Structure 1
Amino acid sequence: MNKKWFGVLLIVLLIGIAGFNLYNDRKEVTEIDSTGIAVSDDQTGIALGDRAPDFKLQTMDGEEVNLSDYKGKKVFLNFWATWCPPCKAEMPHMQAFYEEQPEDVEILAVNLEESTEKAADFAKQYELTFPILMDADGTVAETYEVYTIPTTYVLNEDGTVHQKIVGPMDEPMMQELIK
C-alpha cells in the first residue's frame, strides 16, 4: 500500500514540476520592479496572447515604420496584394472604418511583394488613406505565417495578438473586433 501511494505521489509531483517548467519557459524575467517582484515579458509570437513580433517597414512614401511605434493603440495588421479579389472587396470597408475609427485604433496594411507604384495606384483608385507598408521581400509575411490573403492580425494596445482573421473583413466585423 505504501509503495502504491509513493508511486502516485511521485507521478503527481513530476506532473506538477513539468507544468511549472512549461509555464516558466513561456515567461522571461526582464527586470525586478520597486516592490521586488519579477516583471515578466510575454513570449513573442503569433499565437493568441503572444506579443506580436516587431518589424520595420517603409510606407509608400519611404517613411520607416516600426510596429512598436503603435504601442498603446489597437492595431489591425492587414496583409494584402493588389491582385487579390477578396482584398479588393475588403478595402472599402477598411477605409470606411478608418474614417470613423476611434483615436486609439490604427490600420496598417502590409502590401506583399509588389512595387510601390502598383500599391500607390491601387491606393489612389480605392482612395485609401490609412498607412500602407511595403513588405517587398515577404519577410514580415513569413514571420506572421501569412499563407492566405487577406490575413489580418488584431493586436491589443500592449502589442499582444488578440485575434487572427483569414479572409476579408467588413466594417461591422471590424467594429466588433475592437470591443
Structure 2
Amino acid sequence: MNKRNFALAIVALLIGIFLVNLFQDQQEKKAKEEAAQLAKESMDLSDAKQGLTKGDRAPDFTLSTLEGEEVKLSDYQGKKVILNFWATWCPPCKAEMPHMEQYYEKNAKKENVEILAVNLTSQDDGEKAVQQFVDGYELTFPILMDEKGDIGDEYRAFTIPTTYMIDTNGLIQHKIVGPMNEEMMGKMVGGME
C-alpha cells in the first residue's frame, strides 16, 4: 500500500511540474508577443502628432554627464545610437535598465553602438538620486543630465521611458515609448545601417 501511495505521489508531482512548466511557457510566449506588438506599434513613426518621424535628422544637443563632461549628440555620428529618456522614479525605466546594461556590455563595440541615457533631471529627485540609481544598477554607458527639460521636450519624451534609435547618419529610425528588453534592442539596432 505504501508503494502505491508513493507511486501516486510521484505521478502527482510529475503532473505538477509539467503544469508549472506549461504555464511558464505560455507566460513567456505571451510576454514575447506583447513585446513584439509594442515594438511594431513603436516603429510606426508616420503620425505627425508624435513630432520627430522616421528619417528625420535627430536634433543635436549638448548635455553634461554625471561626471561633468560635455557630450554632444553629433559627436556620435558614424555610430548607431540608442537615445533613452528616463527618470529614477519610473518603474518601467527600472525594469529596462538591466537589459540596456547587458546589451551595452555585449554589443557596444562589435555592433558600433552607443547608449546615451538622458535623465530628465528637471522631473527627477536630483543628481544624488541619479548617482545612487546608476551605482545601484552598475550602469557603464553615459548618463546625461537634462537639467532644464529642454531636450526631453524637443524629443517629445512625455511618457518615459522613450527611446530613439538613431542610425550612423544621424537619422531617426525608430521611436519606442515604453520599456525595451535586450532582444528588442538587438533587433532594432541590427536593422539599422
TM-score over 0.5 for the pair: yes
- Kindly state the Cα deviation for residue 116 of structure 1 after the two structures are TM-superposed: 1.8
Q: Does the CA-based 8 Å contact 1:46-1:53 persist in structure 2? A: no
Higher helix share: 2
Cα RMSD, aligned residues only: 1.0
Question: 1:63 is matched with which residue: 60, 69, 76?
Answer: 69
**After superposition, where does 1:18-37 map in structure 2 within 5 Å?**
none
Question: 1:148 is matched with which residue: 156, 159, 167?
Answer: 159
Question: May I ask how many residue pairs the two structures share in their alignment?
Answer: 135
Q: 2:117 maps to which residue?
A: 109
Q: For residues 102 and 127 of structure 1, do their structure 2 counterparts lie closer, same or farther at Cα, with a shift above 3 Å needed? A: closer
Q: Deviations over 1:153-179 (max 9, x none)?
A: 000001000000000000000010111
- Kindly state the Cα deviation for residue 138 of structure 1 after the two structures are TM-superposed: 0.4
Q: Does the CA-based 8 Å contact 1:78-1:152 persist in structure 2? A: yes
Aligned equivalents of 2:167, 2:52: Cα separation in 1: 13
Higher strand share: 1
1:135 aligns with 2:146: yes
Q: 1:76 maps to which residue?
A: 82
Aligned equivalents of 1:93, 1:109: Cα separation in 2: 13
Q: Deviations over 1:34-64 (max 9, x none)?
A: xxxxxxxxxxx72110100000000000000
TM-score, structure 1 as length reference: 0.74
Q: 1:11 maps to which residue?
A: none
Q: 1:51 maps to which residue?
A: 57
* Larger RCO, structures 1/2 (Cα 8 Å, 6+ apart): 2
- In structure 2, what residue type is equivalent to 1:77? L
Question: 1:178 is matched with which residue: 155, 166, 189?
Answer: 189
- Kindly state the Cα deviation for residue 83 of structure 1 after the two structures are TM-superposed: 0.1
TM-score, structure 2 as length reference: 0.68
Aligned equivalents of 2:156, 2:92: Cα separation in 1: 18
In structure 2, list runs of 5 or more residues that go unmatched.
Answer: 1-50
